[in-house]
């Protein structure tokens, strides 16, 4: 899927950040989408929300793992782009909205909170900003020997053509979607028949399992040198996952889903914003090499995630 997305970025001229942040991210988010909506439709609000919140946090931890895989320099230095920086800012903005809804008085119409349509509209408008950052950047990162620029490789086009690549990509994406639906049915059984809470099952089990496509595609993109695609995939996936929260509110029929969950979900959301802010500072500071060639921001994100997991497990 990563290789196909990289080729599509070149063939269409869309760019790796846009391709990774929109299409690859959407495809690898399909297990999260299927799992979260399955739980929400069945009335498991805490399980649905913890799955998507846990997924967003672990995705950023996966980016730290990707930094370990890329040995030439700090991944955030090499993959610096205005598009990815805009994606990080968009994620912080979008994720703030459901957290605000969770801590404010319950207001909803026909079972849908007013934040939900705002969240969906913000996602669409945000991607216009991301596209503008790619096509008409108002600033560009300083080029260094370690920078890997997102330049289309016109000579690498395959005989499949754009239509064939899109068909291949869609087929691969469909395969990932089925897994999320099956996984959530298993998760509901675990939550019912074991002492584990829905938050623990969603955030630590299904959240991680449904995010494995992001880990695999990110590492695969790094291995083929599509660094902007790799980072854009993680950030774009998390942005897309905020729309999954909105979709869960729509299909959850016992009122607003934002007020049917515990404060644990606010904690997971705030930690995800914290990790995104750390990543954003890494984009701006652009450390070339860290300890063991792992960026300081990657190390901090991994430690923050480990601390969060420990707090839930205890």
Q: Predicted confidence band at 5 (pLDDT cuts at 50, 70, 90)?
A: confident
pLDDT confidence band for 36 (50 / 70 / 90): confident
Give tens-digit pLDDT for 151-176: 555 544 455 677 777 777 777 777 66
User: How many CB atoms within 10 Å of residue 137?
Assistant: 14
Burial of residue 305, with CB atoms counted within 10 A of its CB: 0-12 exposed, 13-18 middle, 19 or more buried: buried
Mean pLDDT confidence for 114-122: 95
Residue 172 · residue 4 · CB < 8 Å: yes
- Name the DSSP class of 143: P
| Residue 16 confidence (pLDDT) | 65
* 258-295 per-position pLDDT tens digit: 999 999 999 999 999 999 999 998 888 877 777 767 88
Q: Global pTM?
A: 0.82
Maximum distance among all Cα pairs of the chain, rounded to whole angstroms? 57
Average pLDDT, the chain: 82
Q: Give the separation between CA 14 and CA 10, rounded to whole angstroms.
A: 7
pLDDT > 70? residue 130: yes
DSSP code, position 160: T
Rounded Cα distance between 34 and 11, Å, is: 30
Residue whose token pair is 């999320």: 180
Per-domain boundaries in the chain: 2-147+161-313
Whole-number pLDDT of residue 150: 55
pLDDT of residue 185: 67
Beta pairing partners, 112: 109
pLDDT above 60 (res 204): yes
CATH annotation of 2-147+161-313: 1.20.1420.30
**pLDDT band for position 224 (50/70/90)?**
confident
């Amino acid at each position: 899927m990563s290789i196909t997305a990289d080729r599509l970025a070149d063939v269409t001229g869309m760019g790796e950040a846009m391709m990774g942040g929109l299409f690859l991210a959407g495809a690898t988010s399909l297990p999260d989408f299927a799992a979260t909506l399955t739980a929400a439709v069945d009335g498991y609000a805490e399980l649905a929300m913890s799955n998507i919140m846990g997924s967003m946090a672990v995705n950023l931890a996966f980016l730290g793992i990707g930094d370990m895989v890329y040995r030439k320099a700090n991944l955030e230095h090499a993959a610096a782009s205005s598009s990815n920086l805009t994606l990080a800012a968009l994620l912080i903005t979008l994720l703030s909205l459901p957290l605000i809804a969770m801590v404010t008085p319950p207001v909803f119409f026909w079972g849908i909170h007013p934040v939900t349509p705002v969240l969906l509209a913000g996602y669409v408008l945000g991607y216009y900003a991301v596209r503008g950052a790619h096509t008409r950047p108002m600033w560009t990162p300083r080029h260094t020997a370690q920078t890997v620029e997102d330049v289309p490789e016109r000579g690498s086009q395959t005989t499949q053509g754009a239509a064939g690549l899109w068909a291949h990509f869609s087929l691969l994406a469909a395969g990932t979607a089925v897994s999320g639906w099956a996984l959530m049915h298993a998760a509901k059984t675990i939550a019912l028949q074991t002492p584990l809470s829905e938050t623990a099952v969603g955030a630590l089990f299904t959240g991680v399992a449904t995010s494995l496509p992001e880990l695999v595609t990110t590492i695969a993109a790094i291995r083929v040198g599509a660094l902007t695609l790799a980072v854009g995939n993680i950030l774009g996936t998390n942005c897309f996952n905020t729309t999954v929260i909105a979709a869960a509110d729509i299909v959850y029929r016992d009122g607003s889903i934002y007020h049917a969950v515990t404060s644990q979900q606010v904690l997971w959301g705030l930690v995800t914003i914290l990790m995104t802010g750390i990543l954003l500072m890494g984009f701006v500071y652009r450390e070339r090499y860290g300890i063991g060639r792992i960026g300081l921001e990657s190390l901090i994100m991994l430690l923050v995630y480990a601390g969060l997991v420990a707090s839930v497990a205890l």
